[in-house]
Structures are given as C-alpha cells and as structure tokens.
C-alpha cells in the first residue's frame, strides 16, 4: 500500500471537515474548499483524524489513496494556514503594483499588463519588484504564479524577467569571436 496513503491527516482546531458520499468539504479561517470523492478511496473521519484506505487491492486504488490523502492534507493546511508564492521582478524599469484584485505589471512591453485575480486569491506588492500571491487552494496559487511568470520568463543571457523568489537562473555565456 502507499506509504503516504497510510498516514492519517490530523484536523487542527478551527477547521471543520464534512464527508459526504460524493464530496469532502473543508471549512476554516482561510475559506472553504470542496473536493469530489473518488470511488477507489474510502475516507473515514475519527477523533480529529482523517484516514484513507484503498477500496480494493488494485494498483490504481493504492495510488489514488496516497494522492487523495495529499489533496485533503493540502485543503486542511490551506484553510488553516494558507499558501504563499513569491515572485521577483529583475530588470531596469520593471515594476508591479497591486490595486484590489488586479495586478499591474510594467515589464518592458510597450503597454502595461493587467492580470485579474480570481476569487479566493489575494495579491500584494510589498515593494515595486516583489509580488506575493496568497490563497487557500495550493493548486490555484501555484497556477496563478506560473501564469504571471509566463508573461515575461527570465531570459538566459542577463536574467531579466519575472522569476520565483527562490529560483536560480543559470546565465549563459555570450558568443565569442
């Protein structure tokens, strides 16, 4: 059986988990998230811990029990603590500003780029060259961060562009005559 699927998910105080036949709902201070139940995974809530068991002995059921456990764990962590992605802008004149649920970027194009944030995702700009994306849903926070990075990915010769805060860019050497 999956090693990850064997570990139960502990539910912290302030987080409400409800398990129905077709979905799992998690509510907390950070919001509410819903995940559709999977037929190959049996989910049980006992004494503040959620356990996951494969419905049969197939390889797919074993794999899905671990995957499903991690998805529910991310939901519980998201509504209690939240997830954060940090981006940094590198380049002369590159700047970002957050206005409500919009992010305005000046990243070397002839026009400013405006990015609309979906519901449940908050964006902040502590400085002109830093972007902080926060939310309860780990997948959506990562997807929005990847879409913003894709507007101007770091180029390999000078490293200019939008990068993750912990990303290391390998700079290429220029051609020699």
Mean pLDDT of 150-162: 95
What pLDDT was estimated at residue 18?
Answer: 93
pLDDT value at 20 more than 70:
yes
User: What would the pLDDT profile of 104-122 be if each residue is shown by its tens digit?
Assistant: 999 999 999 999 999 999 9
pLDDT value at 1 more than 60:
no
pLDDT value at 152 more than 80:
yes
What pLDDT was estimated at residue 2?
Answer: 61
pLDDT value at 11 more than 60:
yes
The domain 83-164 belongs to what CATH superfamily?
A: Ribosomal protein L6 (3.90.930.12)
What pLDDT was estimated at residue 85?
Answer: 97
Mean pLDDT of 60-81: 94
Q: Which regions of the chain carry the CATH code 3.90.930.12?
A: 3-80, 83-164
pLDDT value at 47 more than 70:
yes
Query: Is the Cβ–Cβ distance between 37 and 22 less than 8 Å?
Result: yes
User: What would the pLDDT profile of 78-92 be if each residue is shown by its tens digit?
Assistant: 999 999 999 999 999
> For residue 42, what are the CA distances in angstroms to 5, 10, 61?
11, 17, 10
Predicted TM-score of the model (pTM): 0.89
Tell me the torsion sign for CA atoms 157, 158, 160, 166: positive
Backbone φ and ψ of 68, nearest 5° = -65, -40
CATH class of 3-80: alpha beta
């Amino acid at each position: 059986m999956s090693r990850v699927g064997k570990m139960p998910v502990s539910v912290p105080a302030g987080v409400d988990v409800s398990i129905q036949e077709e979905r799992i709902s998690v509510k907390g201070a950070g919001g509410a998230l819903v995940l559709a139940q999977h037929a190959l995974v049996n989910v049980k809530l006992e004494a503040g811990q959620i356990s996951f068991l494969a419905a049969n002995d197939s390889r797919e059921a074993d794999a899905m029990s671990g995957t499903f456990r991690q998805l529910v764990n991310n939901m519980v962590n998201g509504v209690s603590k939240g997830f954060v992605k940090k981006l940094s802008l590198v380049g002369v004149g590159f700047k970002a500003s957050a206005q409500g649920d919009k992010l305005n970027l000046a990243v070397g194009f002839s026009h400013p780029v405006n990015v609309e944030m979906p519901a449940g995702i908050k964006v902040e700009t502590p400085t002109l060259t830093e972007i902080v994306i926060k939310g309860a849903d780990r997948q959506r926070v990562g997807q929005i961060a990847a879409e913003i990075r894709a507007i101007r990915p770091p180029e390999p010769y000078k490293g200019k562009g939008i990068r993750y805060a912990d990303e290391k860019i390998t700079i290429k050497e220029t051609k020699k005559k």
